[in-house]
Amino acid sequence: MTTLTTAPVSSLLDRLFAENEASFAALNPTWAQIPAEQRVALMSSKTNYRALYTEMKDVPLAVSRTTGAFLYMLARSMNARTIVEFGTSFGISALHLAAALRDGGGGRLITTEFEPSKVARARANIAAGGLSDLVEIREGDALETLAHNLPKPIDLVFLDGAKGLYPAVLALLENHLRAGALVVADNADWSPEYLTRVRSPAQGYMSVPFAEDVELSMRID
């Protein structure tokens, strides 16, 4: 058995994923009405991301169950001790990553979120999962919260905040990544600049697209 598949985390995740699906279903018609070009501009912006996410502050926007399980398995199999996440939201992916730390013998997850109400919800969910001792939530813009006090080495990174910032956030973390560190980026197709960077061996990464719009990259050295 794992922390993920036993109480209290399993039933907590069932509830949170059900809420997530319901809120996505409610959001979809509004999203579909936005012209494709405007959607790309919104999702890829490096400057106007705050308004978009404030608008969606009551929506979990969480990873799928598959991606959540994938994160848990990666963290467990590489025996990750230090994980950094960009984009906490309600803490659903953080619960998977922290569960992996728990089952692997401990460690530290640093995760960051700029919506105060989401920080409060994530804190409550992580506490309900009994995982608070493993998680540090940094409230604020990742460009600031991840610019200092980073652990070294970082074993695993999960990028899931504003897509246009993926290259900048990776740049903040890069010098702390150990050789063989993994970087998982959700919905990375919204950031062609990020994909160009991690798919170039000359930049120090190996990278492959994975299921469900996930990019899996490894730091070479």
Contact in structure between 110 and 145 (CB atoms under 8 Å):
no
Task: In angstroms, give the least distance from the CB of 170 to ligand SAM.
Answer: 13
From the list 62, 117, 120, the residue with the least C-alpha distance to 95 is 62
In angstroms, the CA 31 to CA 50 distance is 17
The span of 27-35, 123-131, 147-155, 157-165 binding ligand SAM (CB under 6 A) equals: 157-165
Contact in structure between 53 and 81 (CB atoms under 8 Å):
no
By the rule CB under 6 A, 49 interacts with ligand SAM: yes
By the rule CB under 6 A, 118 interacts with ligand SAM: yes
Contact in structure between 84 and 170 (CB atoms under 8 Å):
no
List, in sequence order, every residue forming a beta bridge with 135; answer none if it has no partner: 109
Token pair listed for 83: 């994980």
Q: Of these, 4, 12, 62, 177, which contacts ligand SAM (CB under 6 A)?
A: 62
By the rule CB under 6 A, 160 interacts with ligand SAM: yes
By the rule CB under 6 A, 131 interacts with ligand SAM: no
From the list 52, 137, 24, the residue with the least C-alpha distance to 91 is 137
Residue type, 82: T
For ligand SAM, the closer CB: 17 or 204 = 17
Instruction: For the segment 70-109, give every residue that binds ligand SAM (CB under 6 A).
Output: 87, 89-90, 92-93
List, in sequence order, every residue forming a beta bridge with 139; answer none if it has no partner: 113
By the rule CB under 6 A, 165 interacts with ligand SAM: yes
Q: Of these, 4, 119, 162, 181, which contacts ligand SAM (CB under 6 A)?
A: 162
Q: Of these, 142, 172, 182, 216, which contacts ligand SAM (CB under 6 A)?
A: 142
Site for ligand SAM, rule CB under 6 A? 49, 53, 60-63, 87, 89-90, 92-93, 112-115, 118, 141-142, 160-162, 165
